[in-house]
Amino acid sequence: MSDEYDREDFTARLDDMCALAEKRRCPVYSSFLNEREQYDAQVFLGRRYGVSAVFWGGNDACVRRMLRVCDESGKVPDGFDGFPVWGLTITFRKADKPGHRDFLGAFMALGIKRETVGDIFIGEGAAAVFCTKTAHDMISECITSVGRVGVSVCEGITDEAAGYILPVQFEEISVNSASLRADCIAAAVTGMSREKAQTFIRSGGFMLNYSECENISRNVSAGDILTLRGYGKFIVGGDVETTRKGRLRLELKKYI
């Protein structure tokens, strides 16, 4: 996908994938999708009949995932069979501490496109990388350093690297809000006054389901993803209680 995200272009590509799957009656795969693209794909595919869809990034802990669409009247693979996801282990000295940007910088310097690389899990002395076959071959043949750190590339995910593949973790928090309006929720999460929260939202600091939302009166719902610039990302829980003072107590999960 392009760095400049165009939802119309993206949904047009999804439509092409579905049409191709229906025509060939065989699975069609996307490149690695980020969370916003996955959300938009789920919304689009929820209105599309005749195809089944599965996301997979190489491991249950992966956030960046490919999409597979299949014609339901054709043969649908079992589980995650057939996904063109490859795993590599990149090792380095435990004293060295290459970061996520160092790995991406090394990959991009080779001309590897971002959408061909999935999640990168980095630990002490090893990193697990999920990618396409094209990226796999380039990394295997060409990567000798990441940033200023010398590295070695091993085929597959070794036991050592597998130990660093950890799922996204959450902190459960509870907030009290006057209503489910975006400005009220933003004020409750950040500790701002409602007026400052409105300015914060109108200045582009609030994202709802990965899209910028400047509508201060927009209500949030269970399952929505809220991203507040400088404060983190949250999932809205399903249980809403009313306090004795008539305010709403909302459960959120904060990404940590």
Question: Which tens digits make up the pLDDT trace of 126-160?
Answer: 999 999 999 999 999 999 999 999 999 999 999 99
77 lies in a domain? no
Residue 203 has pLDDT above 50, yes or no: yes
- pLDDT for residue 179: 95
Asked whether residue 91 falls in the same domain as residue 130, the answer is yes
134 lies in a domain? yes
80 lies in a domain? no
Asked whether residue 91 falls in the same domain as residue 115, the answer is yes
Give per-residue pLDDT as tens, 226-243.
Answer: 999 999 999 999 888 999
186 lies in a domain? yes
3 state DSSP class of 54: strand
pTM assigned to the model: 0.89
Alpha-carbon gap, residue 72 to 53, rounded angstroms:
10
Taking phi first (over 0 means left), then psi (-120 to 50 degrees means alpha), and beta for anything else, what does residue 173 get?
beta
Residue 68 has pLDDT above 60, yes or no: yes
Q: Which residue, of 40, 71, 102, is where some domain finishes? A: 71
**How far lies 85's CA from each of 12, 42, 81, 109, in Å?**
24, 20, 10, 21
Residue 48 has pLDDT above 90, yes or no: no
Asked whether residue 106 falls in the same domain as residue 140, the answer is yes
81 lies in a domain? no
Confidence bin at 170 (pLDDT 50/70/90): very high
Please give the angle made by the CA atoms of 157, 163 and 168, to the nearest 5 degrees.
105
Confidence bin at 73 (pLDDT 50/70/90): confident
Q: How many domains does the chain have?
A: 3
Asked whether residue 158 falls in the same domain as residue 178, the answer is no
Q: What is the mean pLDDT of residues 46-57?
A: 91
Asked whether residue 199 falls in the same domain as residue 232, the answer is yes
Asked whether residue 34 falls in the same domain as residue 95, the answer is no
125 lies in a domain? yes
Q: In which domain, by residue range, is 188 found?
A: 170-255
Residue 60 has pLDDT above 50, yes or no: yes
- pLDDT for residue 4: 63
Residue 1 has pLDDT above 60, yes or no: no
CATH number for the domain that contains residue 26: 3.30.1370.160
3 state DSSP class of 249: strand
Q: Which residue, of 18, 47, 71, is where some domain finishes? A: 71
CATH number for the domain that contains residue 214: 3.10.290.10
Residue 50 has pLDDT above 90, yes or no: no
